[in-house]
Amino acid sequence: MTELDGRRGSRAGGAVRGVLGLVGGVVRLITGLFAAILVVHVVLVILGANPENTAARLVAAAADALTLGLRDLFLVGNPTAQVLLSYGIPALAWLVIGAVVVGILRLLGRPRSGLA
């Protein structure tokens, strides 16, 4: 391999790492936003926001769509605990999903040693 080939490979690897880093940032942003919507819904419900309010309805609809099927996974008698579990667990799940995907992207973007 010539020096020029090495520089091309290095630039290509850097470009791939850059794209993977960008994708990782977008994934982190989106999964964090999803978790934040779920947390905002929990806060609105616990603080007693008017469920007929347009903003509260919008947040509730978005939160319901983001529960990953985990809503009402655990049924408890306390309404506050129920909201915390029904929307808190999916919020944590979104954060874990984001961390796992970003970790995988980082592994894919790691420079290779050149040893086969």
Helix (H) or strand (E) holding 52: none
Residue 70 contacts residue 90 (beta carbons within 8 Å): yes
The model scores a pTM over 0.85: no
Provide the 8-state DSSP code for 107. Answer: H
Check: CB of residue 55 under 8 Å from CB of residue 62: no
Span 87-115, pLDDT tens digits: 999 999 999 999 999 999 989 887 766 55
- Helices 3-46 and 79-109: crossing angle, nearest 10°? 180
Q: How far apart are CA 22 and CA 13, in angstroms?
A: 14
Q: Is the pLDDT of residue 4 over 60?
A: no
Task: Give residue 58's pLDDT.
Answer: 98
